[in-house]
Amino acid sequence: MSLAARLARPEILALEPYAHASWDPALERLHANENPWRYAGDTSAAGLNRYPEPAPRALEARLAALYGVAPEWLVAGRGSDEGIDLLARAFLTPYRDAVLLCPPTFGMYALAARLQGAAVVEAPLRREAGWALDETAVLAALDRGVKLVFLCTPNNPTGNALPRATVLRIAAAAAERALVVADEAYAEFAADASLVAEISRHPNLVVLRTLSKAYALAGARVGAVIAEPALAALLRRVLPPYAMPTPTAETVAAALEPGPLALAREHIATLIAERARLAAALAALPAVRRVWPSEANFLLVEWADAARALAAARRAGFVLRDFSGRPETPAALRITVGTPAQNQRLLEALATP
């Protein structure tokens, strides 16, 4: 029996997947109760009057090539959020299982768990050690019914990457009893290589990726769950048919051509350079108490007066993310790295008394 079968909810293993209409683009479609005419403004190649591919195999093949895996190792979804939700629904038995989080971190992990009726166990990051993982606390928490361990690396909102050796030790300790989910939404901005290559040695390791950040496709809503094939196949049982809209699939196909990919990599390099410039300039401001080191496309910044900094940014036309009311991040604002011109305007606004 595969690890996926041992850890999955029995209801998911017994689930009969939805039987969608057959898919053969070479034939004229009179089998799916679609409208035979396009609407007047439809400029898509496939036609919005037709259902999209039931399972987006062509899109998954492109994403698999981008991330260096075989297509059967990848499940495409609507952003990383859908991957988080799929994992919760497939593996968390309501009122019995739990997820392990390391706050402060991305809020969707706890939301997906609670929507599934699962408990949330926390092993907070160690602020005094630069938001380091508390490995001892994480390992101790595995005995509390934990089925999913979510580790965001680089972490949102703190920006630090988690040491891969620590993540892999946790995966080894959790083998046979829990999945360790490494959310690499910001991996393109980090120095270390992805953990994807480690999945073959750690079958309980799952990696989440997204096109939202580095590839400028947040509005397209495309993410991927990368896992060993049996686990990926299990998640496909939960994924609804026709989940990837036609315009999204066509947009991604174009965005992953060599030209756009080369431009995306240029923009990534610019953002990394601007992150360093912005961090240094912010740290020099008298109103700034601390700029936390970041390997993402944002900075977590602590202020003497966070409300005043927010107001100054708004007057200059910018909205920042306010984390100042949370106990783990007092007086902190999260600032996304923008274009060089945007960053300069923001710095000038924040420097104004």
Report the DSSP beta bridge partners of residue 321.
334
Which of 34-48, 118-132, 221-235, 287-301 comes out lowest in average pLDDT? 34-48
Through-space distance between the first and last CA atoms of the chain, rounded to whole angstroms: 65
State the amino acid at position 293 in one-letter form: P
Question: pLDDT tens-digit profile of 61-89?
Answer: 999 999 999 999 999 999 999 999 999 99
Between 79-91 and 108-115, two packed helices, what is the crossing angle to 10 degrees?
40
What pLDDT, in 10s, does the model give residues 114-155?
Answer: 999 999 999 999 999 999 999 999 999 998 899 999 999 999
Does residue 130 sit in helix, strand or coil? coil
Q: What is the pLDDT of residues 88-106, one digit of tens each?
A: 999 999 999 999 999 999 9
Both structure tokens of 161: 């990457």
Burial track 117-142 (b if 16+ CB lie within 10 A, e otherwise): ebbbbebbbeeeeebebbbebbeebb
What are the structural domains, with CATH classification, of the chain? 3-256 (3.40.640.10), 259-351 (3.90.1150.10)
- pLDDT score recorded for residue 187: 97
The structure tokens listed for 170 are 């946790």
pLDDT, one tens digit per residue, over 178-237 is: 999 999 999 999 999 999 999 999 999 999 999 999 999 999 999 999 999 999 999 998
